Structure 1
Amino acid sequence: MTAVAALVFSSSALAQDDPASAPPAPTETTTTTPPPTSQPAPPPPAPEQKPQAEQKNSISGVLYGDKNRNGEQDPGEAVQGEVSVFGGTTRHTTTSAADGTFAFQGLTAGTYWATYKLKDGWVVHHAKAAGDEVVVADGTTTEVAVRAERPYSEQLRATASLDRGNYEYPAYAKIKISLTNTTDRTISAIQARCNRPNLRNTLGNGGPEWHVFNTHGVTLAAGEQYTVTIAERLPEDAVTAGVVTLDCDFAPNVEWITDGPPVHAEAKVSGRFGHTMVFGEDRNADRSIDADEVVSGAKVVLLDLRTGAQVAERTSGSDGKVEFTGLNTGDYRAVLLGSWAFTDDSQQLVRVTAQGSTGTKFLKRAAPASVVATMKFEKPRYESHESVRVDLTITNAGGQTAERVRVHAVFNDVAITAEQWGEFGQEGPGARIPAGESRTYSVTGAIRYFEDGKLTVWASVEHVGMPDRPTGFSAEAEVVQTTGDVSGVVYVDRNHNRQQDPGEAAAETVVEANGGAPYDYFRTTTDADGRYSFENIPSGDYLIGYTLAGGWVVHAESNAPQVRVRPGPPVQVSARAERPYTEVLEAAVVLDKPVYAAGDDVKIAITLSNKAVHEVGNVQAACNRDGNTWPVSAGWGDLREPGVTLGPGETKTITVVEKVPAEPSGVNRVAVHCGFAPWVAANLEDAAIGYDWAGIPGGVGTARGTILYDKNHNYWVDPGEPLQNTGVRLMTDRAYGGIVAETVTDADGSMFFEQVPLGTYWLEIDGPWQFPDPSTAMVEITARGDGFYLLYVEPGPSPVPPGGDSSQGGTRGALAKTGVSVLGLGVVAALLVAFGVGARMIGRRRTT
């Protein structure tokens, strides 16, 4: 005899009532249907079969329900039910007797797959999806004992919930799952199987956030409860569906064991909207698209009408449909790429409303846009001190309008300002050039560098839908080297009368000149009269810097401080040194509220004080610092130009009104970070600084991840590696920052920060752990909320805090290095920062 054991089989188990009795005659049904596609095909039957009377091949078995879970059959555990074995193309079915016994006789030798339908809810948990494997040898009887147990839905209790009933896309759902082992034995390797129907608006799709249920699964001791929180990004299709769902079941070997406890949760989803268009070639001119008129494979992009930026790209399907999702309300321009065009330009307009929108678009065949360009210098020969002019002509030789045409110019050797390129520039919206038309742009600038008497510039042109990388083109001109001289004096204006008086000469001052064409560097020292000179240096623009003793500074007295050296008489330079502006000026910037909403007016009170005994004029503001919201515009009055004048000891307050952007991008705050000085663009390094900020509700995101000590260095989360009950904080600065939010890792080593102000933060972790590389502790919170952080740590020198767990880290009272305590605030601290309410409570700073 041969006895086969596959998870549920035991060769030692016997029929419980009368082990020696012969098995009952089976009730057998034979079919010749092909096997289900989900079952692996068993070996084909033997080519020769014995006559029925001579066959000894059989299966003899018993079914029992393992009520006491001891893994063997005991009295009173017999189970009745239907038993089927499948081999080749034949299925044999019988029913077990009252004592649980069953038999199949006269079988062909080979491999069979057994399945069971049992009474009273008992189930056999198969080791394979196809069923249990039973091998029947020629001339023998295979004995099997089939162990049944209660379904996992009775052994496990599962619950799941979402942290909100409504989400606004894009967002993360915080999923809380609890599993309880209701039995008196351990259940190992419990896994999750979610979204069995493969719907597109569901959660639980097995990303790295679900690693606790992957591979090894969860093991629960008798009576143990396990709770885990998983943060998962909402799928984009949930916006279209208006709802996001979670449907999972839990069991060991969950891919083919489907009787685990199910959970269901759902929430409404709103957010950005969509547009659907249908493409067709209206050949019968009936102003509709018939089934044989749809156009598939047509590629279309959407451009923002305000900025010209491309926001989406799609290709029509076999039904001619193109679906855009995740759009903001507003107007867009649809641009077809390739060999299709709209029958009229009015069809390019796409208007997206809060209810979504649809449109039918009629197409015609057309040659795609094809852009060519030529570039040339105004004249073939220049002297090196001259300004040059470059003319660029762009022609659309194709059949469709070229959209968002922009120039990528490599003009490093000529001082061309970006503003000269206008809409063609890399930061511009791009230009539209209809088929057959040309555009010509001219730019001018000083020569910076040339080689072997040649000046060369390169450029390329790009546009939406261009088939290949842009083709480069160039222009070349001859350059003749010229030289010039500089003669200068440096003096210390102690009486501040703006002229050199006896005794004010700045001797031994280091003078450095950088510039010229080609670029060069020159250095000299003033004589006893404060004089210096540079002779026969290459023509061109130079920045001249001065290093004086005693902290005196030579300030630029215009926003164009360069010295232009040309052939001819020496350029005369008089350098007046004075005290640093940081000793003379004080600046304070205050916003009128700690919190604003999008679109609000913001009043900025700017107070400037002159501590000197002399007048300070032309004080301007430069506020493009650290990504602040507002540049200095015309609304800033004299702070833009010509500048504010402050008398000796005078203080002035200027109020500027700006608006919070309607759609703040990537930040949770508005900020003013400005430098103030005469001719500030040229003297920015010596400016009085003013700073203030306020919160914008809604500008928050999520940080989540798992922290582990990767003992075996396999870059995966293995049992025992996650750091449990370990304090983690988000810091505004790696070395000197304050705490924005804090949490403690759970049993899976998972951290979760929600409602965190957008920005870059550094993680601080309780000892004895440290991050091997400080850069790996950086966390980026963006408006999209993307990113799951798998954070590796290593043992460090930090001592274990009092009361901490020496094996799993510890939790300490969180104190910012500034001394400001936020102990106990947790997520509340993050909320206060995010909404501006806590701006002054937890260390709002102003630089004055």
Structure 2
Amino acid sequence: METPAESPAEKPAETPVGTPAEKPAETPAGTPGGTSPTTGTIPDEAQAEIHRQDVEAQAPPRVADLRVTASFDRATYPVDADIAIRVTVENVGPVAATDVRLRDTTNLSLKSGELDLRRVPGPVIGPGERRTYDLVARQDHVSPVNPEEVYFQVSAGQGAQQWPNADPTPNDNSARITARVPREFGSVDAVVFVDANGNGQVDAGEGQGGLSFVADGGSSTKRVGGATSPTGTVRFTNVTAGHYRLTIGSSSSISKVPAPGSGEFDVVGGRTTTVLVPLVEPVSSVLVPRVEFLNDPFVNAGDQVQVRVTLKNSGSAPLTGVVAVCNQNSSTPGLTGTGPGWAALHPDGPGVTLAAGETKQLVVTDVVPQAAADYGSLYVGCDFGNDGRNTAGYRGASDFADVNGKYGKVTGTLLLDDGAAERPLAGTRVVALDQRTGLWAAETTTDDKGAWRFDRVVAGPTRFVVPGEFKPREGAELVADVVAGRTAAVTFRLVPGPRWDVPAHSPKVEVTASFDKDAYDVRDVVTARIRIANNGTGGPERIFYAEDREATTLEYERGQWGVLGGSYSSPGMDLWPGQVHEVTITGTIRQWSTGGAVRLKGWLGYPFPGQPASRAFDLSAKVVFRTGDADVLVYGDANGNGSFDQGEGLPGIGLYFQGGLPNRTSEGRTDDAGRFRLKDAPAGVHEAQVRTEGTGWARPSDYYGQFTVEPGQAPQVELRLVRPLSDVLHAAIEFDKESYDQHERVGVKITLTNDGPELPVRMHCGGELPAPDMGPEWGPFAPGGTGVVLKAGETREFQVVTTIPDYAADHGLLSLTCGFGPGNSWGDGHPEANDLAKVTGVTTTVNAEVLTGDYPFTRVPDVTVVLVDLFSGKPVARSVADGAGTITFPDLKTGLYKPVVVGPWKLSESQQNLIRAVRGDDRSQTILVEPGPEVADPWTDQPGAPGAPGDAGDPGVLGDPGAAGGPDQPGAGQPRAFGVAGKDGGLADTGASVIGLGLLGGLALVLGFVVVVASRRRTA
């Protein structure tokens, strides 16, 4: 059981932690006379021996043993920073791990590395080898619960099956790491208004409602938006601190824009930023810009460029801070406007000042970028205004220039051979075709001598078409080999022929897709191959993947689609005529699938109008579920030789199996020879759990119940049991009082007796109910402590004084349930000890419903319910249900109570039927009953009746905390002397209080109060 961390308790006045009591409460026969003082810590030589025994006892079977570690490269990150993650998978086992698959969960967005991390099938990792994965992530979403924490969790396993895990130490097969992204949050109060009177303030009627207000801080976690109220206001809370740029919009065109300087603001943590956004006439109404190249055309990348910029202020007021924001939305490569030559107009600079009516000219210098040289054209396009990079209301100007480095010229003569003679073809169209698309690129007309000319043709083989009833005299095409910077001269000879037209744009995208198998085992890796071809003519077709998520059952990493992913970061690709793009997808079948098919359905873009819808595909394959058997032997290793000997088979042992794909559970019991045949189990890894309760046997620390079922095979599975440690090691836990005030300290006594050979002992505690705080005051028994060594025949006592957690009073209970033994986990057959006490001082109200029958149940109205205290067995509260079966118990002390329903009813055995009075839990509880014998009312108002209020035999037990001797009066909760009989008689051998003894046994069944932990080795 986990308990909240608390400050260390003060040093107890009792015997120091780990020091044996001077006179142990009980010294078993055979204990050496006298008890020499010893410490509770383990000497170095003993610790080494413990380690050796642990290693020997927990030697894993010969299987692959994966170990996963993960780390961030920093403990804290700035907002919007890239976050580096490293994952390492190591095989510390003696055999190779095959198909190692990793599965991750995180509140981060992975930017890179996820394809390798999530690849199926996974890699083979040999003995002693490791595999490292480096990831880059970003916090794109902020949790409102814990906005500063980012986490990454990853686990590794072999093959498709996640559970059971065949790894001998599965606890180290996963890792979870956290880091912090500290954020400060502030608020924004904004007003958007038209400053009609120019006073810089918001006056009545100036607010502008219904406008879109979007503030962008440069990332997805720094963006807010909303609509202004009728008075022009808008408010945002929990805004990440930083610099923001706003955009104002509406469903209709806006005639006014934010005034210069009002379009940006800073949010400061812990403060409210007031943003006034006055709307003014856009600068485009008075600013008239013009741009033009002065020295075009250009030839190569790097050539110097001169651009003349003319700015005219046609208004009656001066303009200051006029800048240029360039090349924002052009498909043609252009000048960015941020180079050294643009300093006067740089968008982050002071800008240019224009007096009213003034015109200024500036000549800026730049160079031809490589992209423009490749494209063959250079663009300069800028938006001009006086509010920095906030371009709302700006006015644009642009110009284009040729970059001719990749172009040449072509001159030619066009002749027609009509069979009698060659003659020039005058006044005839000659069309040059684009080298990539095969479509019209340029055209000219022959003169009266059949001559024609193109001054700008891309270098390389260029095809030409002469529309009309012609065809080439030689060959199938007219081609000129164009050389950059030169003039090619050609003569084209034609003969009469069928109609010859310029090719038209006619895309034809065809998709073929297939799975690599017609049928798959549910554990197989599924491979899909998709081929997309543009078998048409003309320009490119946009291709992107869209999936039918409802129909698709294949589980796979969508990033395998690459650029076709159809997301903002993977918007698709242009597929040119004759081009083919192929994608291979690998995935798995859902582990919980019981359907008979696996399916992948989607389409790749939208078909061209008039073309058949050939871009969709729908793949389906049969899923096969195979089964097999296993022969299981359960034996008790009576002679301790680690192997089965004749006669050691254990009959009547209960078995529980879980595993395979799809996962299935089953149960069985061994025959007289200790054997059981598991039949028709789904193929895959299975885990066998042995029911050892009441058998006198226990699972050893090296218990390994995993085995693999395959069709047509029957593995021999041997499950070894040993005598429980509780045969020789005995433990008792006792609180020093039966009842505590919520602010008291609690004393705990631990008694350990070893009837066997020398033994190292650690303590492991757990449970559902509140437990004492576990801190360093527990010494060797603290979480992660070294434990103690018990000599043969030795009994030792340890006393601890610690604090009660605050929430224990909310439950009204304090419990401690612990197991004892060697090793780092609570093992099967290890001795357990527990105790239970009240924690007083808190009351609450409990609501419940009395129900009967099967779901959705029938309400039982007008019945009397009495709550009985689980400690004393006395009634403490009484109430009557209303007509709907609803009942309320006000001012009830927190704790656990058993309900008694008066009348012909008995409590149903299908549920706990305990009332938990917990402060802060206002959920209605259920009392489920069924017809039964008449139950008398245990609550009586007759004075002097047994158990009635005022009964001298047990004063104050009926809910009267103020009664003499009642639990809230002096004398209640008196200390219980360690090792001395309690008020009801002598202590049991376990050391638990008599009050708690029977109760704890019941709680073990109804609350899971005693945590049962499998003893197979499950530690890292």
- Please classify the TM superposition score into its range, dividing by the shorter chain length: 0.3 to 0.5
TM-score by length of 1: 0.36
TM-score by length of 2: 0.31
Larger gyration radius, structure 1 or structure 2? 2
| Greater RCO, 1 or 2 (C-alpha within 8 Å, sep 6+) | 2
